[in-house]
Chains A and B, each alone.
Chain A
Amino acid sequence: MTVAVERPEETGTDAPGPPPRTARRPGRPLVMAAILVLWLLLFAVLRGRHTLSLAAADLTDLHRWFNDVNDSIGADRNSDPLFLYFFNEIRLVVDTLVTFVQELISQSGAGRPVPQIGWLGVVGLAGYVSWAVGHWKVALLAVAGFTFLGLQGLWQESMDTLALTLSAVLVALLLAIPLGVWAGLSDRVHRIVTPFLDFMQTMPTFVYLAPLTLFFLIGPASATIATLIYAAPPAIRLTAHAIRSVPTTTVEAADSLGATRRQTLTKVLLPMSARTVVMGVNQTIMAALAMVTVAALIDAPGLGKTVVQALQSLDVGTAFNAGLAIVVMAIVLDRVTTAAGARQEAARHAHGRTAAWRRPLLGAGAAVTAVLVYLSHTYVWAAEFPGEGGVGSAISRGADTVTTWAQDHLSGLTNAFRDALTTGLLNPFQTLLTDSPWWLVGAALIALGAVLGGWSAGLTTAVCVGLLVGTGLWSDSMTTLASTVVATVLVMVLGIGLGVWMGRSALVDRLLRPTLDAAQVLPPFVYLVPFLALFGATRFTAIVAAVVYAAPVVVKIVADGVRNVPAATVEAATSAGCTTWQIVTKVQLPMARSALTLATNQGLIYVLSMVVVGGLVGAGALGYDVVAGFSQGQLYGKGLAAGLAIVLLGVMFDRITQAAARRTSA
């Protein structure tokens, strides 16, 4: 879900653009229109033939083969040396780490009824560490945030979540930073690693939850590893990116001074990329928190469990309360790591000036923290968070009231909106995709890909179409494709509207940004129940959930693009007498075109990452297949194939939009 990290930075550094083509070709929009018209004509004639549809319980040979592989792994797990000496060892190490962190802050152990460090110690540590790596403002935020978690009545759950997140992030960074450095230094490694990272981030987590418990058993180890698979890629990407963007002149200067490769790395490359690496750590933490509710499905302790359990009895209030705790924790961790990144930067520029009095202060802080930790280790009042969590029950009552009101008063309106959009846009589009012969849709997709993104994008599309047919889930893939495209259109409409508004006004930006952050981090499981009440169990509910999840990223990117339009240009347009509308449509948006294509790319990928959640609320198709595969043994292979199909759709979208972005900005 956090694929947002790799922006096509190359666009700016590209060669001055291809020489103008000699032969005049028809414009791109014209070609695309021609393809669409041809498709519609053929659809009218060939409708309903070669649609490759497959009923919900039917399997293909590929699916059965996946099942057999899965079963034989399960049967061999006590005798296979690969298990005894490899997976079991990994599991043991990860398990020990997680258990250690848990006993430190969240679970009773070692003969104690409470963890080693109680709430007072954790709050003190959080404050002190935030202050040491950032500044006193974030320290205050950290203390306030963590105390709020306790007041919500969710101290223990929050600490479980924190323990799991910290363990997963720690292991992820141990692997990710060296790998990122390597990928930063070597083009070949970079090329090999990138598709794997794409895969790790787009493969729905539901698909590998069941196999993970097969490999690493049920328990915190599996949950940590599931989180780690999803959370490591941003850190790898950003580390590689940071190493790559160190100016070549600096590296050459170091070389000419006779620095060894090792010295160049440790003295030049790493310090200069520290800020971006910290950003990678930040992204990894955010991704790990996004996995909290999903990991709860394989018994990961913590806030996710509260959300999932509350959903079973449709208890919106409790789910919201726990979701809010995840948001609070995410905001604290985000601000602290961002501040740490800024300090890295500042430390490079201003050396020594502040260090003189900083050191004794840090020492004093450490002593205070040590006392707090000792107190919380020894005394019950400092170990167990006092109070009944009254804030939490007030929050959940409030959330209940708001949802009930919305359900009672808005559902007529929302149903009308849903029906209009479904019959007017979604159904015809889906029919076109699912009822056309597969080869016609495939050919149209390839042609569109080639026109938009060039030959290589066309080739990628062709490979993806071929593999999609191979998964045996063509029809479901097309249904999902239809919803995804409609959701992306809505995301773009919303994203451009809000993004332009935010980009033009600093005040709006400041007001909207926290809401956007919250919408990105709040587990989608929390708003499923209210959305179900408003829109019923339909594809549209899934689309709305995807829009809520994907719009914030798009809004942020568009706002960024609009803000980066030179002020002089806007002033010139204003003095030429342009209206606001004209400035937006004729100056700011066209000049922010590369931001818009990037936003479309990210919007599509974020929407796609919600396909599985959509499967839980009536979207059917691939999302349902994945969830079914996680739930039923005989559908496991089909679920895996559906997961692969989602990845293929993602790769296809990503390559076409990236290539298109490069073309428009070239």
Chain B
Amino acid sequence: MARHWRAGAAGTAVLALTLTACGGAKVGDDSAGSGGSSGSGSCGTFNLAVNPWVGYEADAAVVAYVAEHDLGCTVRQKDLKEEIAWQGFGTGEVDAVIENWGHDDLKKKYITDQKTAVDAGPTGNKGLIGWYVPPWLAKEHPDITDWKNLNKYADEFRTSESGGKGQLLDGDPSFVTNDEALVKNLKLDFKVVYAGSETALIQAFRKAEKDKEWVIGYFYEPQWFMSEVPLVKVKLPPYTDGCDADAEKVACDYPEYELDKIVSAKFAKSGSPAYDLVKNFTWTNDDQNTVAKYIAVDRMSPEAAAKKWVEANRDKVEAWLK
């Protein structure tokens, strides 16, 4: 019978709770903090792809923040890898990709052939790809930043994975890379070892700087990690137009990428103010690194990071909204 009593007590307690709770704020009240967006203009829903690296997250956070607060858009951010994000242009699930690194194959497939996407101009960011070493190494052996001297140090870079040669650590498989061909064509005594993810790459460099280990690997800028450990780029034979035309014979550095924005063809024609924002959006590597650092190093939420930057750089934002 004890159970009867218990249930009864619980019931009474809940009833009492209901009665006392009548004073609480109701869902839908203005005080409920639903934050009814003011000027909800003609923008509607804006589907923004977010590719998985912090720099992109920074771009997306700022564009989303401005679209929501200045244009009254409902922004849906979708976490997707590049390939899948581009697929979404055709199906109307993605309106914009706002930090594209080259990807000529995707441009051909979706812009030229399927005509579901269009180019929306550069982001203003300069993308650098190349081989990097931790700062302590560049300081202790300054000549290491020239590829010609790499063979001299190959032994130092040896690891359990590199089969007696020096190890060149490569990262996430979605990155553009010619490293295997480069090692072969520059006759370097190195072996490319695939770390498999950006996380693995960053962890390797972080540890190398802390424990003074020998690591050389693929990396890129702009990247938030540079503000934690300023890696030093190794000089490769200079890039000339077309020197990377034949993937097998590449023996030159990576070109400097003009990072750009890609939008779906439908979105470009929709007349949405969000499209104009995406089209006008440009900023510098330093701007991006600042926001990326807020997110990755200071552990701020992307919205908070975007808010902080936008409030400090109102003039730049105004230029995008013209």
Contact = CB atoms under 8 A, between A and B. Distances in A.
Contact of A378 (B27, B83, B161, B295): B27
Contacts of A422: 160-161
Contacts of B15: 371
A419 interface: yes
A586 B174 CA distance: 53
Interface bin, chain A: 35 or more
B27 A383 contact: yes
Contact of A618 (B106, B200, B211): B200
B18 interface: yes
Contact of B200 (A213, A296, A377, A616): A616
Contacts of A616: 196-197, 199-200
A57 interface: yes
Interface in B185-222: 192-204, 206-207, 211
Contact of B54 (A114, A313, A623): A313
B7 A537 contact: no
A407 B213 CA distance: 14
Contact of A624 (B79, B160, B173, B296): B173
A440 interface: no
Contact of B174 (A308, A427, A618, A631): A631
Contacts of A237: none
Contacts of A381: 21, 24-25
B52 interface: yes
Nearest to A634: B105
A45 interface: no
A218 B80 contact: yes
Q: Which of B11, B27, B91 has the most CB of A within 10 A?
A: B27
A312 B54 CA distance: 7
B244 interface: no
Contacts of B82: 631
Given A528-B199, A529-B203, A368 B193 contact: no
A57 B83 contact: no
B93 A540 contact: no
B24 A537 contact: no
Interface stretch (A4-12, A173-181, A297-305): A297-305
Contacts, number: 208
A382 B106 CA distance: 48
A364 B7 contact: yes
B32 interface: yes
B57 interface: yes
Contact of A298 (B84, B91, B106): B84
B159 A56 contact: no
Interface stretch (A71-79, A161-169, A249-257, A649-657): A71-79
B299 interface: yes
Contacts of B224: 313
A411 B27 contact: no
Given A74-B87, A312-B53, A364-B11, A633 B109 contact: yes
A578 B137 CA distance: 61
Contact of B296 (A217, A313, A407, A419): A313
Interface in A290-333: 296-299, 305, 308-309, 311-315, 318
A486 interface: no
A305 B78 CA distance: 11
A219 interface: yes
A423 B160 contact: yes
Contacts of A419: 160
B161 A538 contact: yes
Contacts of B197: 528, 616-617, 627
A537 B196 contact: yes
A63 interface: no
A557 B53 CA distance: 41
A528 B201 CA distance: 12
A375 B18 contact: yes
A619 B35 CA distance: 48
A139 to B, nearest CB: 12
A539 B161 contact: yes
Interface string A615-638: 111111001100110111111100
A627 B106 contact: no
A430 to B, nearest CB: 10
B34 interface: yes
Interface string B51-69: 0111001000000000000
B54 to A, nearest CB: 6
B4 interface: yes
Nearest to B197: A616
Interface in B3-47: 3-4, 7-8, 10-11, 14-15, 17-18, 21, 24-29, 32-35
A326 to B, nearest CB: 17
Contacts of A382: 21, 24
Contacts of B90: 74, 77-78
Interface string B140-177: 00000000000000000001110000000100111000
Contact of B199 (A55, A314, A418, A632): A314
A619 B27 contact: no
B46 to A, nearest CB: 15
B57 A312 contact: yes
Contact of A615 (B83, B161, B196): B196
Interface in A352-372: 357, 360-361, 364-365, 367-368, 371-372
Contact of B173 (A217, A383, A635): A635
B130 to A, nearest CB: 18
B127 interface: no
Given A308-B52, A380-B24, A57 B247 contact: yes
A536 B159 CA distance: 10
A516 interface: no
A146 to B, nearest CB: 17
B302 to A, nearest CB: 9
B58 to A, nearest CB: 11
27 contacts: A57-B180, A112-B28, A113-B27, A218-B78, A218-B80, A218-B84, A218-B93, A297-B79, A299-B79, A312-B54, A313-B54, A313-B295, A313-B299, A365-B7, A367-B11, A381-B24, A411-B207, A422-B160, A427-B160, A528-B197, A529-B199, A532-B204, A537-B195, A616-B197, A620-B193, A628-B173, A632-B173
Given A213-B84, A418-B160, A635-B173, 18 more contacts: A112-B28, A113-B28, A218-B94, A297-B79, A312-B53, A312-B198, A407-B207, A411-B207, A411-B211, A529-B203, A536-B159, A540-B160, A618-B193, A620-B196, A623-B196, A627-B173, A627-B197, A633-B106
> 7 closest pairs, A vs B, by CB?
A631-B174, A628-B173, A113-B34, A313-B296, A537-B195, A364-B7, A537-B200
Interface of A: 55-57, 71, 74-75, 77-78, 112-114, 209-210, 213-214, 217-219, 296-299, 305, 308-309, 311-315, 318, 357, 360-361, 364-365, 367-368, 371-372, 374-375, 377-383, 407, 411, 418-419, 422-423, 427, 528-529, 532-533, 536-540, 615-620, 623-624, 627-628, 630-636
